[in-house]
A and B are shown apart, each in its own frame.
Chain A
Amino acid sequence: MKPFDIRQLLSAGLALLLLILPFICNAYWLDVCVSIGLYALLALSLNVILGQAGIFHMGHAAFFAVGAYTTAILNTSFQWPILWTMPLAGAAAAFFAMIVARPIIHLRGDYLLIVTIGIVEIVRIALLNDVGGLTGGSNGIFGISRPTIFGFRIAKGTQFYYLVWGMVGVSLLLFHSLWHSRFGRALNYIKEDDIAAEGCGIHVSHYKLIAFVLGAFWAGMAGTVYAAKMTTIAPESFNFLESVIIFAVVILSGGSHLGVLISAFLFIGLPELLREFSNARMLIFGFAMMAMMIWRPQGILPPRHRRYNTAVSLAKGTPPTVDFASTSKEETT
């Protein structure tokens, strides 16, 4: 490993910037940064499904919605404290993902894509039609209380900023170790070639299902934070365009965790920067989406190839680049 790696420098710079950001920007931009953090959280969770396992999933807003509504209903109807609902919101989203994904997980790429779009539409319409009298129809649910940690009430922008980005930090650590685990390698293998993976003894649909459920769990927890921040949620916040943006963030990132953060900044920050163009801003945004993909089709920062120290490669002096089949060898990156 080189002493000054460009990615490490970037990560360190980004971490430092994120720490001092609340002291240098005004309330408006702080709010933008909170939504960037929320999207980063959602994109990190989708990255497990789409980026690592290569499952074409464009309905992530559905799981986000399930989490947010679970929190909202538990909080407003049963007076649960917000942060206590977080594991339950995640579990509800994960359970929902398990039920819907089980019959469709074996579908081929584009068929799965349209089914996941269908799921997000069905969830939105179900919320609109006030299922079970719990979701409040098109008005949604309002009056969600603020979260408290050990009696300390989180209500101000800065406090939310640290809550959201703290969660992003914890998620990064967890997803980083997931990426380097046996499970992460199996997911990568499935993405590269699912038939070969099956041949090597990886239970493909089982692993895909776990990736799906795990991603949904995280999206559900992000839903809790969203509900607590907005204090009002409505079905239109979880529409298809929302899923498209999360999807595009992951594809533009290239699949690495640092890439996801940069891509979230670009996708959510760019329309805010373009506010002065008022009506034309989404036009420019759409054009930028095309231009960015043509400029870097592989994404901003694709994850580095896994390298392994094997006796053979050491003897030859050149490490083999990709070797997902090796199961228990030491990794150097």
Chain B
Amino acid sequence: MVTTTSPVKAESRDLNFYYNGGHKALKGITMPLYEKRITALIGPSGCGKSTFLRCFNRMHDLYPGNKYDGQIVMHPDNTNILDNGVDPIEVRMRISMVFQKPNPFPKSIYENVAYGLRVRGERSKRVVDDKVEEALKGAALWDEVKNRLHDLAFNLSGGQQQRLCIARALATDPEIMLFDEPTSALDPIATANIEELMSELRNKLTILVVTHNMQQAARVSDYTAYMYLGELIEYDDTDRIFTNPSRKETEDYITGKFG
């Protein structure tokens, strides 16, 4: 899938993470995310892949007692987004996230997508209208909802709700988008839609996706990282990881001997 090498968009450098209570959930993770590429994180439950993903938008800051140790550096500005001096809100304005279960607000479809812009203080109705339309088109939802933008988001199906959440994350033009097992609550058809959408989004932004489903990683990603017990075991081109992994542990997991 990877044709040319791409610049590094962000890299984690020797990242350790401790949950409140001292449990060390990430152990010295060092890996790059390439610009406009999809990087997948795979590994058994509890291996730290979601924990790692949630470091990228400082979600752990919402709960007291969590501690980062190490760096995640964003390019081209070389900002260490884990630095105490960097406001997590600034980080979340640059890096958006799509969650495991669709979590639209109990508001209208329009207001869901517009929320990121409202938070940024955008008042012009024309700008918001345009951005909402653009984001919904980007999330392949526009045609299904354009005539009922002011309906409640809960009236959409599960797959549509998840695409709405992608539109919400897209509306603010993020540099990186995080996906935390985005299809685990969806049926196969909705899953296929989301995967197709991710491939399209690759033209616009950098994607990091946690997935429980190895086939999904193989289908959509350019790079794959295999994690186990908080460590990064192997990181390589997706094709390499799935056809010719260099580590025995990766091979065991890929082939289903374990996990």
Is chain B found bound to chain A in the same assembly?
Answer: no
- Residues of chain A touching chain B, judged by Cβ–Cβ distance below 8 Å, are none
